[in-house]
Each structure stands twice: as structure tokens, then as C-alpha cells.
Amino acid sequence: MLDHEHAEELLPRVSVRLAGVPATRLAFVARHNLRQGPPPGYVDPARAHLNAVLFGPEAGDFKAAALASAERYRNRVGQKVQRKQALLVEGIVTFSRAAQPIVQQDLEQAHARALALVEEIVRTHGYGAKLVSLVYHGDESAPHYHFLLEGVGADGRAVLQRFQRRQGTQLQDLAGLAFAPMGIQRGIPVIQRMQRGDDRSKVVHRSVRQLHADLPKELAARQRQVAAVAVYLAKLQAKAGTTESRLNKAHAELAKVQAQASVDAARVARLEERIKDYTVRLANQRAQIDAAMPKPVEVTVVTGTEKGLLGSRPTTAVQSFYSAEEVARFADRLNHALLREKDRARKAEQERAVAQAQAQRLHSIIAPYPQLGWRRQARAAGEQGPEQGRVIHMDQRYVYAVEARTDALIEGPRPRDVEVDFGMVLEFDHDRVVPPSKPDVQPWGLEQVIAAIPRFVTDRMPSALPMLAARLASEDAELREERRRQMAEAGSDLAPDTDDAAHAPVQAPGNDWA
């Protein structure tokens, strides 16, 4: 867009256009101007209260004025009016984007100046015709005025047949003078705009057929530019998303490592530095996205057609597109950013390999020592082969049991397809732990498990005693409540606690295998 074209769009402007209304369009003009019947799809019903009738009837039609024009024409010519003869003259007063807010902020003054403008047009260019109607439409996307005057002058001649280019220029001058106190000017003459090199598509109004032929090509070209920009932008945003995912993963890994008592301080420091690096990197990439975004260019495109006061006309909308130069600059910046990210990814992979090697070294140091890796418990010497034991401890990976024959602690991998519970009997065969097909011993109750834990687990492992004690107390309370209910149903006067069979003595864990 040329600089002077952009500057013109920022100035408040007003313009006036005229067209003839034959008898075939009288009903449509009345419905549209006076908003009779169902509202058109392009109006906003919530703003219907802004519409105003400044002159003429508020309802009905304009047939009386049309008949008066037809009668004057018949008296002069001596024959009936032709079907396409303009019986009324229709005018529309429109405003540029910059002028529309000015009109909407002071409707009272704008209505007064619009009425004065229309009356002056009728007086100087109506040739004795009378003003029929003046309405304001504020429920459409752009505020505007519609006015009607008789299509035949007092001498019986059509008003529009005597209009030439000079009269059209005079109309724009009158509009500029009428709205000048509100800071709104008349439009730039067409000849002057063509001489200074303005885009012809913005100076000469194209027909609907021309717009349908030209605008799809222009729209397709703009859409290709937008698609190219969208691809580059999506890649850059994907990089930022990957970095943010890595940052979240590093945060989670840091929280997990810090929860362990034997965490390596050097590894924590490296993770903290990595988080700082990812945080700075993410901020820089987001800043690059904002800086690399090309600046859009607003283009008017056709979205459909509608029947207006002056006949069928295209409906347009303003969409944002990107110029080829902006897309090219954006692609260059994106390529540089991708190269930098590849270098950073290679360095991060090298750091990860070093961290993994150090972690393996720490594992090899910890594994042989029971005081550091308590899961590596030596199995008691004795008979080789499958061993059965009662479970007294477990974690996510291992299960620990008291071996029935030797009364020693044994351990193995926790079976994934079995729901392991405290006191149940499992069979340990090297690295395979399963429920036995034929148990050699009876499972333990919670009281027996609680009695065995201090001998084997508490000194070296996190104890499950508090949880088991709470579970035993809950089961005991449920048992007491069940017995109380049974005794109440039987009509007994004894308290549940006096029943000798209510509690069995706790049996110390021992070798009770069959």
C-alpha cells in the first residue's frame, strides 16, 4: 500500500451516491429502509434501537410519491411510465472507517447535519422534486443514511437524466460542507486519485461480476502466503513446546531425586543448571516467536452478495494476510533459529550421556554393600530349591517373607499378576515368586505379621507397622460391631467384650508348617 493511500484511510471522509428506483423495487426499498418484516441476516438486532426515521413515514410504502412522479411524467410526455423508469431517486450517505466513530459518538449532531445536507441536495439538484424520506441505519456494520426524493421534477423531466459528472462533484462538495463542523471531509476526487497513482481497484468501483472474477485470485494468492507463514510458525512453536516439555520433565526428575536420601549432590546441581538453561532458552524462544512473527496486511475480500438499495452488491470483509517479503524474512530467521537449536540439542545429548554414565558408576558402588542397598539381602544357607514364606514387607519392586523351615528372611521380585497381601504364603524359586500350588504352611494374620516385623525389617527397611496396626484396629472394631449386632439380635444381655471367644491369643511366629 502506498504511503498516501494509508494516510487517506486514516482520515474521516463522507460521500454521497444516487440511483434510480423503478416501480419494481418500491416494495424492497420500503422494507429495507423502514425495517419492515424479518430483518436481513447482516444486521445486528441488538442495535436496532439506534435506527431512526428523520423525515417521512415510519411505516407503509412510498407509492404515493411514486404515483405523483408518474403523473407529472405522463402530463409532459403524454404516455404511461415505462417499467424501468425511475419513479424515485434513492441516495445513500456513507462514511469512512475513521469517520464512523465520530458519527456514532454524536448522533444528534450527525442527524441534524444529514437532514440539512439532504434538504440542500433536493433544493439545488431536485428540479422541483420533493423530499420523501430520510432514515438512519445504526444496526449494520457501518452507520449510514438513506434518503428518497421524487424521481420526476416539477417540469415533468426525470431528475437523474440531467445529472452529469459536474453535479456528482457538487454533491460531494455539499456533503463535505455539511459535516465539516464534525471534522469530516469530502472524499478525494477520482481524477485526482488516478493522477497520483492510487490502486485502480480502490478508485474505480468494480461490478459484482468483476469482483467475483478478480477477488478469488487475489484471495488465493494471499492464502498461499498465509499457509507458508503458518508452516514456519508451527515449526518454531513445536520447538518451543518441546523445550517446555523438557523443562517440565526436568522439574519432575529434580523433585524425585531430591526425595531420595542418597541423592548425589552433583547430579542435583546439574539438574538445577539444566532447569535454568531450559528456562532461559524457553524465554528466548518465545521472544523469538514474537519478534519473528511477520506483520499482517489487511485486505478486503468478497464474502458473498446481498441486495442493497442500489441493487445486488458484494459483501466484503477485512482479513489479515502477510506479504511475500515478510514471509521470506520470517523463513530466514526461522532457519537460523533451527540451526541454533540443533547445536543446543547436540550439546544436551552429550550432557545426558555423561550424567547416565555417572549414575551407572554410583549404582555399581552402592550395590555390593547391604548398609547402602538394603534390598540386596543374602538368602539364608540351607536347602536349595523353592522356598515358601509368609509376607511381612513389600515395596513396588520386591517382596520379603519369613521362610517357613529356617525362620530366615528371604526376598524376591514382586509378582505383577498377583495381588500380594501381608501374611499370605508365596513360593520363592530364584528370581521367580508365585503363589504355591500346594501351600506347606498356613498364612499369618495381621497380629503375627506385626510381631515378626521388628525381628527382620525395622532395622534396615522402612517399616509398615503403623499402617498394619491401624488396619488391625479397624478390623477389630468391625468384629466387635458385628458381634454386638449378633448378640442384640439373639437377645443376649452380655457385653461383646465378655465373650471368651471374641479374641484369640496372639500366636508368636514360628515354624508351624505342616
| Domain co-membership, 451 together with 302 | no
Instruction: Please report the pLDDT score of residue 200 as a whole number.
Output: 58
- Around Cβ 107, how many Cβ atoms within 10 Å? 15
CA distance 322 to 230: 10
**Which of 205, 236, 267 is the last residue before a domain boundary?**
205
Closest CA to 122 of 143, 92, 147: 147
What confidence tens digit (pLDDT) does each residue in 163-206 have? 877 788 889 999 999 999 999 998 777 666 666 666 655 555 44
Question: What's the pTM?
Answer: 0.43
Domain check: are 191 and 218 in the same one?
no
374 occurs within a structural domain: no
- Residue bearing cell 423495487: 25
Nearest CA-CA partner of 495 in 505, 504, 483, 503: 483
Phi, psi of 2 (to 5 degrees): -70, 155
Range 374-392 average pLDDT: 61
Q: Are residues 121 and 30 in the same domain?
A: yes
Do 249 and 178 have their domain in common? no
Q: Could you give the angle at which helices 465-490 and 446-456 cross, rounded to 10 degrees?
A: 160
Q: What is the CATH number of the domain that holds 113?
A: 3.30.930.30
Same domain, 450 and 435: yes
Q: Indicate whether 329 belongs to any domain.
A: yes
Give backbone dihedrals phi and psi of 183, rounded to 5 degrees, phi first: 80, 20
Strand partners, 412: 399
Instruction: Judge if 264 and 175 occupy the same domain.
Output: no
Confirm whether 74 is domain-assigned: yes
Confidence check: pLDDT of 498 > 60: no
> How far from chain centre, in Å, is Cα 150?
53
The verdict on 437 and 408 lying in the same domain is yes
> Of 135, 104, 96, which Cα lies nearest the Cα of 118?
135
Reported as a pLDDT band with limits 50, 70 and 90, residue 103 is very high
Q: What is the DSSP letter of 58?
A: S
- Give pLDDT, residue 149: 95
Does residue 335 lie in a domain region?
Answer: yes
The residue with cell 449494520 is 140
pLDDT, tens digit (0-9, with 9 covering 90-100), for 275-286: 888 888 888 888
Residue 94 shares a structural domain with residue 200: yes
Q: Check whether residue 221 and residue 348 sit in a common domain.
A: yes
| β 52-55/13-21 pair status | unpaired
Residue 191 lies in a domain: yes
Q: How many domains does the chain have?
A: 3
Domain assignment present for 382 = no
Chain-centre distance for alpha carbon 355: 39
Q: Would you say residue 68 lies in a domain?
A: yes
Instruction: Check residue 502 and report its DSSP letter.
Output: S
Residue 193's φ and ψ, nearest 5 degrees, are: -70, -40
Judge if 358 and 261 occupy the same domain: yes
Percent of the chain past pLDDT 70, that is, above it, reads 78
Question: Cβ distance 381 to 415 under 8 Å?
Answer: no
Please give the single-letter amino acid code of residue 243: T
Q: Does residue 499 carry a pLDDT above 60?
A: no
Q: Which of these ranges, 23-32, 50-59, 385-394, 498-507, has the smallest mean pLDDT?
A: 498-507
Are 294 and 329 a contacting pair, CB within 8 Å? yes
52: which strand partners?
Answer: 136
The pLDDT score that the predictor gives to residue 108 is 95
pLDDT of 207 > 60? The answer is no
Task: Provide the residue range defining the domain that includes 450.
Answer: 387-485
Provide the mean pLDDT of the chain.
Answer: 79
**Same domain? 393 vs 410:** yes
- Does 344 fall in a domain? yes
Higher pLDDT, 461 or 416: 416
Residue 22 and residue 154 in one domain: yes
| Domain termination site, one of 312, 334, 365 | 365
Domain boundary among 205, 220, 249: 205
